[in-house]
Structure 1
Amino acid sequence: RRYGRENASFLAASGVGHTRWATHGPPSQRNAHPHSSSDGDLVVVQNGIVENFLELRQELQAAGYIFTSDTDTEVIVHLVHLYYVNGGQDDLANAVRRALLRLRGPSAIVVLSKRHPDRLIAARLGNAGGVAVGIGDGEMFIASDIPAILRHTRRIVFLDSRQMAVVTADGAHYTDLADKPVVKQVIAIDWNPTAAEKGEYRHFMQKEIHEQGRSLTDTLRSRLDFEQNQVLLDTLNLSTQQARALRKVTIVACGTSYYSGLVGKYIIERLTRLPVEVDYGSEFRYRQPVVEPDHLVLAITQSGETVDTLAALEEAQNRGAFTAAIVNAIGSQAARLCDGVIYMQAGPEIGVASSKAFTASVTDLFLLALYLGQARGMLDASERGALIRELSTLPGLAGQLLEEAWQGDRYQELAERFHLMHNFLYLGRGINYPIAREGALKLKEISYIHAEGYPAGEMKHGPIALIDENMPTVVVAPRDSVYDKMVSQVEQVKARRGVVLAVAHEDDRDIRAKADYVLPIPHIHELLTPVLAVIPLQLFAYEMAVRRGADVDQPRNLAKSVTVE
């Protein structure tokens, strides 16, 4: 498309491409990847950031190199070219290695040379997103995310930091940046290739929302022992003795995963009586956190490559804590870095705005709380059995809710009514306060409507001043331990001519009499309500974005994996 040859056919043995998320320089044709050397021999694509790019740019300009873009990536291609030419153009891998050693900041790159068209060189420096080498039949692939190559291969090798791969059609040779060979494990990915296709759905996000009945079944698979009333989390690698010795849990996450962590705080504290702190990955290591060897630091990350979350994990490990990750992407950096892992088992999530990974991670947090509760003697067999039986009903209830939504037009009608609004207020209380924040985030992410999520009890400390007929309020109000207080909040909004949309139990006549619109959910244990309560908010945000003509799967300025700080 860039050269007016969008529909052209090419006969080639190798190639590179990249979707750029702008850091240095605005999104434009001249800043788009790949970037090439002045003689056209080398091209480079990159995830990450070159923190010392100004210094290197000045050095390269002094050596006669001409820059045609605003990006830091162009520094890399010229630096590789400098070492390549000086090395006699016979050892591209060494030139890449020398260039990488000059860079500050995380980078994941792929380099291609016209002189050596039979090979690609991939490298990873720090945490700038994944580098997955896919092994096919007489063909090889390199990608930052597994779904990109899932239809071609499910045999994957993941590069660690300061590692390189020289990839040809016949295989790959792996080294570190000192040119010492490294042995890599081939990981078999059990995701179905059709999971990375939209099928009958308009968007990946719509598909992923409606998959949640099945994905929650997968999350629970092989983890519930109904005979012994136990939870099985073998990959957590946390012994009963270690669990009993824990004194604190700290959850680190970003974006939607942070709100999942807030829900987890309520669940873990309730079932284990351990204190839980939830921190943004981007803030954790900058506040000199109190982390001790008897603490569990738990990361939540769909991709397993979120740079701030990985940095928080490394900080926790340096302080001697036991580290674990709730992660969806098999073999990702978070999974490899931690002492233990709990996989979401949700299948590939391609839409930028997370849906099924959120409900899977909350379910994993419930499993973790049960596991810790049983290990620490806080839950007897009868209590565990009741909670496990309740948990086992979750996938069916989610599927029922979604089937009713699929067959009806409730959410399309709501989108028609509200798509021209400019502001929304979301309110929740207790364990559903994080759901209000997640609902507001979903609306912001994909429909570009300003929305704020607040604890309902804080409404009168500021947000109430904004309420009128032009600022709808979404309340999460199931019949739980704070139900009466949520009803009071609804009445206060209505007294100020506000319009109320309520997520409430399907048989709640009181809420139906007070709210303007009701988004119904089925009954389940209070600690599991957030998993069901978030689904109507996902559906509402999705239909609002569709009605407004937004790009649902790739919202502006957002990326699925945030690989730069």
Structure 2
Amino acid sequence: MCGIFGITGRDGDTIQILLKGLTKVEYRGYDSSGICISTPTGLSLKRKEGMLDNLKQNLSGLQEGRSGIAHTRWATHGPPTEMNAHPHCDPQNRVAVVHNGIIENEVQLRQILIESGPEVCFSSDTDSELVAHVLAEELDAECGNEVPTDEQLLAAWRRTLDRLDGSFSLGALVNGRDDVILFARVFSPLILALNEAGYLASDISCLAGMVDKISYIEDGDWGLLHPGRIELYDKDGEAQIREMKKLPWAEEDSELGGWSTFMLKEINEQPAVIRACLHGRLSRDAVRGVKISFKPDLVRIIACGTAFHAGMMARHYIEELSGIPCIVDHAHEFRYGTPSGPKALVLGISQSGETADTLAGLIAAQERGYPTLSIVNVETSTIARQSDAILGIRAGPEIGVASTKAFTGQVLGGLLVALRLGRLANKVHTEDLSNLNNAARRLPNAMERLLASNQLEQGLKRARRLFKGKEHAFYLGRNSSYPIALEGALKLKEISYIHAEGYAGGELKHGPLALIEEGTPVVVVSSDGIIQQKLFGNAREVAARGARVIMIAIEGDQEAAAHADVVIYVPKTHKLLQPLMHNVVCQLLSYHVARDRDCNVDRPRNLAKSVTVE
């Protein structure tokens, strides 16, 4: 959630480099931000409430130095104020700490610190500040008021970590040691990198353009980061060397590149994602790159948010193409549920590969003896390394908080898994693959035409007018269009702050119909065949009670206009791929409604990218 960035070994441009890194990681949290620099005269601190621009405009008095740590906050403990912004210092300003995660024994630690002496005082409501107090206390015990040596830093740091319970990634500065940053990782992600300097980050995006290789350190790792050198220990205190891997993305991949917002850029990148995701994996007679070697009796999919909706699409594909029963669980619920049968496959889905609940669910599955496969965007992530096998969606960095192109990649990943299982079950044949492969090759071009079409632009213009002054909306779908209805509703509420709910059309009479009133916008995500007729019936039901119906229909559907105030047509494609076309319209509708309401589509309130706390 929060964004951490640190650097040691620069000369004269530490503040500039920290701000550059924070800008790229701001999507992880933008309630407040701050920087602390280790200077020859002490620790220099500057923090501001609100978005990073507030900090950039208020840097007067912040001194330059060789090392610094920086942070963008997504509030979990205490309101989003300057007082609660990171970095946090102890009362004597001996240490400064940045933290992503949760200190679960906060109450006990706070009480112990209070009882240790009357001079203890707290300046924030956060759990993070306690880490600074504990580290300062341990340094006092180790070396008094003297500047600590590396050995003394390590001893005090290890005792500090032993006193903390929870999940966290940490970076810390110590006054008098402007040549080192202390680091630690417990469950929450942390990345280290080197050139002539040393870098610490919670996300690879802020390292692009600065280094060529990175190291995803392991759970329980801790140590000292020096310019050009890492001193690292595992949870047992044994010295380790972690592999450095090539940075997977270029700097320009995470820049706007002429687009007005990241969300609009990433919506328009979806045709390229389709090409990349399927390249070398789907052909006329084979499915490659999906590492499943047995036919399971059951597939359990675990995910959160948008990835959960992609999981619902995967379930539809798996059951249709392989006949294997499939259950989709919210990851945070799966880990507390009952075990599956002896031949279950657990499939995790996560864009970042760092989603805490999904990671915990996969670990729980492995502890129960189940093989795990994960669909991820970041192939060097914690989930990727934890899983028995992975399928990368190749979407490139996704900066907008509201996921768009990653959903398309995740759906295609689910389709590839389903095709592989269908082959293992002898239910998907060469003719099926050939037909789907032909349609998949045409899909990116068809989506590009849709995105560029004047018809889509005019349809969206008419549709968004129906949301003016509205605070509630509904999305309806059935069968494969139901997950798209859920995803469309999620996108609308995420970025426009309109309360929106998605329902299976058959549920309408079981409660939701009571909320329909004059002028309520209802988006119907259509299908074809008998399912389409049932959705037409749903459209008539809500229209009879005053709703304004927006229907997303397939080109050539002449009947749709009779059941809607606005119809937006999408090109027809293979039935397994059709939902991706409908989803593009849902994404753009949410985008334009949010822009009409002057909402920040890239950084919606109260939300952050990559949910790394449970």
The verdict on a shared fold, with TM-score over 0.5 as the criterion, is yes
**Whole-Å separation in 2 of the counterparts to 1:120 and 1:341:** 33
| 2:281 matches 1:268 | no
Give 1:31-110 correspondences, 5 Å limit. 31-64=84-117, 65-88=120-143, 89-90=148-149, 91-110=152-171
Match of 1:519 in 2: 568
**Whole-Å separation in 1 of the counterparts to 2:446 and 2:121:** 61
- 220, 240, 260: which is aligned to 1:202? 260
Once the 2 structures are TM-superposed, how far is the Cα of residue 551 of structure 1 from its aligned partner? Answer: 1.7
Contact 1:446-1:555 at 8 Å conserved across structures? yes
- 155, 173, 178: which is aligned to 1:117? 178
Once the 2 structures are TM-superposed, how far is the Cα of residue 406 of structure 1 from its aligned partner? Answer: 10
Give 1:170-185 correspondences, 5 Å limit. 170-185=228-243
Give 1:191-270 correspondences, 5 Å limit. 191-226=249-284, 229-233=285-289, 236-239=290-293, 243-244=294-295, 246-270=296-320
Deviations 1:186-227 (A, max 9, x none): 12133232110012111111111111111111111221234x
Contact 2:47-2:85 at 8 Å conserved across structures? no
C-alpha change, 1:444 and 1:171, in structure 2 (3 Å) is same
Query: Helix, strand or coil: the match of 1:393?
Result: helix
- 161, 167, 177: which is aligned to 2:219? 161
> Residue 148 of structure 1 aligns to which amino acid in structure 2?
C
C-alpha change, 1:409 and 1:35, in structure 2 (3 Å) is farther
Contact 2:47-2:86 at 8 Å conserved across structures? no
CA RMSD after TM alignment: 1.8
Match of 2:446 in 1: 397
Match of 2:191 in 1: 132
Once the 2 structures are TM-superposed, how far is the Cα of residue 564 of structure 1 from its aligned partner? Answer: 1.8
Deviations 1:444-484 (A, max 9, x none): 11110001100001111111122232211100013245111
Please, which runs of 5 or more residues in structure 1 have no aligned partner?
none
Structure 2 length-normalised TM: 0.87
Deviations 1:276-309 (A, max 9, x none): 000001111222x222441110110111111111
Match of 1:551 in 2: 600
Match of 2:379 in 1: 330
Query: Helix, strand or coil: the match of 1:16?
Result: strand
Deviations 1:153-195 (A, max 9, x none): 2411001110024212213222113321123121213323211
Contact 2:283-2:434 at 8 Å conserved across structures? no
Structure 1 stretches of 4+ moved >6 Å: none
Structure 1 length-normalised TM: 0.94
**Whole-Å separation in 2 of the counterparts to 1:106 and 1:200:** 38
Contact 1:480-1:526 at 8 Å conserved across structures? no
**Whole-Å separation in 2 of the counterparts to 1:111 and 1:518:** 56
C-alpha change, 1:270 and 1:114, in structure 2 (3 Å) is same
| 2:468 matches 1:419 | yes
Query: Helix, strand or coil: the match of 1:231?
Result: coil
> Residue 255 of structure 1 aligns to which amino acid in structure 2?
G
Once the 2 structures are TM-superposed, how far is the Cα of residue 396 of structure 1 from its aligned partner? Answer: 2.1
Once the 2 structures are TM-superposed, how far is the Cα of residue 514 of structure 1 from its aligned partner? Answer: 2.2
Query: Helix, strand or coil: the match of 2:600?
Result: coil
C-alpha change, 1:252 and 1:98, in structure 2 (3 Å) is same
| 2:434 matches 1:376 | no
Once the 2 structures are TM-superposed, how far is the Cα of residue 17 of structure 1 from its aligned partner? Answer: 1.0
Once the 2 structures are TM-superposed, how far is the Cα of residue 547 of structure 1 from its aligned partner? Answer: 1.2
Query: Helix, strand or coil: the match of 2:185?
Result: strand
Once the 2 structures are TM-superposed, how far is the Cα of residue 416 of structure 1 from its aligned partner? Answer: 4.1
Contact 1:123-1:159 at 8 Å conserved across structures? no
Query: Helix, strand or coil: the match of 1:49?
Result: strand
Once the 2 structures are TM-superposed, how far is the Cα of residue 410 of structure 1 from its aligned partner? Answer: 4.0
Please, which runs of 5 or more residues in structure 2 have no aligned partner?
1-45, 49-54
**Whole-Å separation in 2 of the counterparts to 1:178 and 1:6:** 43
Deviations 1:257-276 (A, max 9, x none): 11110111110100011000
Query: Helix, strand or coil: the match of 2:391?
Result: strand
C-alpha change, 1:149 and 1:10, in structure 2 (3 Å) is farther
Deviates more, 1:483-492 or 1:315-324: 483-492
C-alpha change, 1:118 and 1:416, in structure 2 (3 Å) is farther
- 416, 432, 436: which is aligned to 2:485? 436
- 37, 47, 58: which is aligned to 1:6? 58
Query: Helix, strand or coil: the match of 1:25?
Result: coil
Match of 2:206 in 1: 148
C-alpha change, 1:392 and 1:93, in structure 2 (3 Å) is farther
Once the 2 structures are TM-superposed, how far is the Cα of residue 49 of structure 1 from its aligned partner? Answer: 0.6
Deviations 1:404-439 (A, max 9, x none): 269835434533442321100110000111111110
Deviations 1:101-128 (A, max 9, x none): 21111111111112211111221112x3
C-alpha change, 1:463 and 1:561, in structure 2 (3 Å) is same
Between the two proteins, the alignment pairs up a number of residues equal to 553
Contact 1:42-1:114 at 8 Å conserved across structures? yes
Deviations 1:302-358 (A, max 9, x none): 111111111111110011001011011131110000000001110000111100000
**Whole-Å separation in 1 of the counterparts to 2:414 and 2:604:** 28
C-alpha change, 1:69 and 1:406, in structure 2 (3 Å) is farther
> Residue 603 of structure 2 aligns to which amino acid in structure 1?
Q
Once the 2 structures are TM-superposed, how far is the Cα of residue 545 of structure 1 from its aligned partner? Answer: 1.1
| 2:420 matches 1:367 | no
> Residue 179 of structure 2 aligns to which amino acid in structure 1?
D
Contact 2:271-2:445 at 8 Å conserved across structures? yes
Contact 1:324-1:340 at 8 Å conserved across structures? yes
Once the 2 structures are TM-superposed, how far is the Cα of residue 397 of structure 1 from its aligned partner? Answer: 2.1
Match of 1:309 in 2: 358
**Whole-Å separation in 2 of the counterparts to 1:259 and 1:290:** 23
Deviates more, 1:82-91 or 1:455-464: 82-91
Deviates more, 1:23-32 or 1:479-488: 479-488
Match of 1:508 in 2: 557
Once the 2 structures are TM-superposed, how far is the Cα of residue 10 of structure 1 from its aligned partner? Answer: 4.9
Contact 1:416-1:547 at 8 Å conserved across structures? no
C-alpha change, 1:162 and 1:277, in structure 2 (3 Å) is same
> Residue 6 of structure 1 aligns to which amino acid in structure 2?
N
Query: Helix, strand or coil: the match of 2:166?
Result: coil
Match of 1:25 in 2: 78
Deviates more, 1:80-89 or 1:341-350: 80-89
Contact 1:133-1:143 at 8 Å conserved across structures? yes
